[in-house]
Structure 1
Amino acid sequence: MKDIYFSLEKNFEALVALATKVLGNSITFILACCLVLFWWINTLLNSTNLHQNIGDFIFGTTFLSLFIIQKSFNKYSALLHLKVNELISSHETANNSVIDTHKKTEHEIIELSKEYIETDEVTEEIIEELTNKMNEANTDNQI
């Protein structure tokens, strides 16, 4: 059952990645713009209802905004991934498994984050232990 779930999750994430690329593509925006312009021209010529024309204009503009926002998000996301990957690869002790995490499934990302949580807990324990030792040393020095 678990294998089926992970298989479905991988397929869904691949579909989402494809949809993100398609919606953020310039050619898709041009096609959508042509479609909206055709729709507006037909509506203006065939309808005399001003409220419907205004609603159609707002709806068409909103529809085109989807493609513009997705394009800018794709660019921002790619730049952010590039910068983070550069920082990770330039640091010798960094865990290189976090490079290209945008290609990993949600389950893989959760597993990676668990490793960091465990590391943070160990670090907190070490810091607490060192703090206790320093407090003991300071107490001994004051006597």
Structure 2
Amino acid sequence: MKKNFFDHFADQAAYFAGSPGAFIGASLLVIIWAVTGPFFKFSEVWQMVINTGTTIVTFLMVFLIQKAQNKDSKAIQIKLNELVAAHENANNRIVDIEDLTEEELDQIHKFYENLRNSRNRDTSKEE
């Protein structure tokens, strides 16, 4: 499957951002910035360099992290749907349940809590 440019870039950027090399590089930049403070007399421009840089990186990373999270969520959902569909006793009505409203999800959650509680009572009676 061929990825478009943004998908490829986002995957690589997210992978790099979570690597030890990225952490070490960011740490070195902060150390270098801190060490240069006396040379720039801890000026406002010196402070603004780190503030602006970290703000821009944080802003862009939010979107990359969200893209990665969306992709992971979709993959996990597909895997769960496959497991539900493959099990003969499973309730296939819950496939694609993520499309329901919060209230509908709460109702289904309560249904399964009640089901669990009734099964626990049934097993405790057998003992």
Give the counterpart letter for 1:105 in structure 2.
T
Of residues 36, 57, 62, the one that matches 1:61 is: 57
Pairing 1:108-127 to 2, within 5 Å after superposition:
108-127=104-123
SS at match of 1:102: helix
Q: Which residue does the alignment assign to 1:98?
A: 94
Q: For residue 65 of structure 2, give the secondary structure of its aligned residue in structure 1.
A: helix
**Higher RCO structure (Cα 8 Å, ≥6 apart):** 1
Q: Return the TM-score normalized by structure 1.
A: 0.57
TM-score by length of structure 2 reads: 0.63
Moved over 6 A (4+): none
Letter in 2 for 1:77: S
Aligned residues: 88
Measure, in 2, the Cα distance between the counterparts of 1:51 and 1:120. Answer: 57
Q: How does 1:17-36 map to 2 (within 5 A)?
A: 26=6
* Residue aligning to 2:77: 81
Match of 1:72 in 2: 68
Question: Based on CA coordinates, which of the two structures has the bigger radius of gyration?
Answer: 1
Supply the RMSD in Å over aligned alpha carbons: 2.1
Give the letter aligned to residue 59 of structure 2: F
Q: Which 5+ residue runs of structure 2 have no aligned equivalent?
A: 1-5, 11-43
The reply to whether residue 51 of structure 1 matches residue 47 of structure 2 is: yes
Identity %: 31
Cα separation, 1, equivalents of 2:70 and 2:112: 27
Per-residue deviation, residues 89-141 of structure 1 (Å, max 9, x unmatched):
1111111121112111111111111111111111111101111xxxxxxxxxx
* Whole-angstrom CA distance in 1 between matches of 2:117 and 2:56: 51
> What residue ranges of structure 1 are gaps of 5+ in the alignment?
1-25, 31-47, 132-143
Deviations 1:28-83 (A, max 9, x none): x99xxxxxxxxxxxxxxxxx812112211110000011011101100110011001
